[in-house]
Amino acid sequence: MADRRRSTPPGFRPPEGSPTASGPSDDVTAHDVHRRIVLEADPTAVWRALTDPDELGAWWGEGSRLDATPGGEGRFEEDGEPVRLARVVEVRPERRLILDWWPEDPEVDEPATRVTIELVPCPFGTIVTVLECALLDLSELPVLVAPRPTFLAPAPAPWWRGRALAGV
């Protein structure tokens, strides 16, 4: 059996029914996204579209907002899609925005993901690269051995314990 990981670039998921779509590879999940596009706008304008409340709402959906500072929070409301909450991980104005986001409704069966948006100026405008990867879901980790309680030996008593204090 041929190793599919060598025949497709990282982050690429072939369409269903294609010869290489028989199952996920080890490094790609159903929720990974890797896209690159050239926009005919300078990085300043693209950054504004990502972070300005009015432009973000027009691009993403009315009511969407993002505090584009490290630790800042966001809320993304797109018509017909679950509302997503976000927390900003890294900001390099006009260069990179990294955020973690997840569905607001815990009943939505979608994982939390980390989204990295990178902007690179080019002669034609700005190259925008978006990479979205599912964050580690601890419920998917295998349990190797049932844990047993561990009892630690008591710590040695401090030197003063048990001594009578003179003159008290």
Domain residue limits at 113: 29-137
Q: How large is the average pLDDT for residues 26-42? A: 79
Query: Does 79 reside within a domain?
Result: yes
For residue 130, what is the domain's CATH number?
Answer: 3.30.530.20
Q: Is residue 20 part of a domain?
A: no
More confident residue, 24 or 112: 112
pLDDT of residue 43: 97
Q: How confident is the model at residue 164 (pLDDT cuts 50, 70, 90)?
A: low
Residue 23 has pLDDT above 50, yes or no: no
pTM for the model stands at 0.64
Cα 143 off chain centre by: 24
Q: DSSP code of 6?
A: H
- pLDDT at site 60: 85
In a domain, 75, yes or no: yes
Whole-angstrom Cα distance, residue 34 to residue 130?
A: 6
Contact 20, 4 (CB under 8 A): yes
- Assign 74 a pLDDT band (cuts: 50, 70, 90): very high
Please tell me the predicted confidence (pLDDT) of residue 111.
85
Number of domains in the chain: 1
Phi-psi label, residue 155: left if phi above 0, alpha if psi -120 to 50, beta otherwise:
beta
* Residue 164 per-residue DSSP state: P
Measured between alpha carbons, how far is 168 from 165 in angstroms, rounded to an integer? 6
Assign 36 a pLDDT band (cuts: 50, 70, 90).
Answer: very high
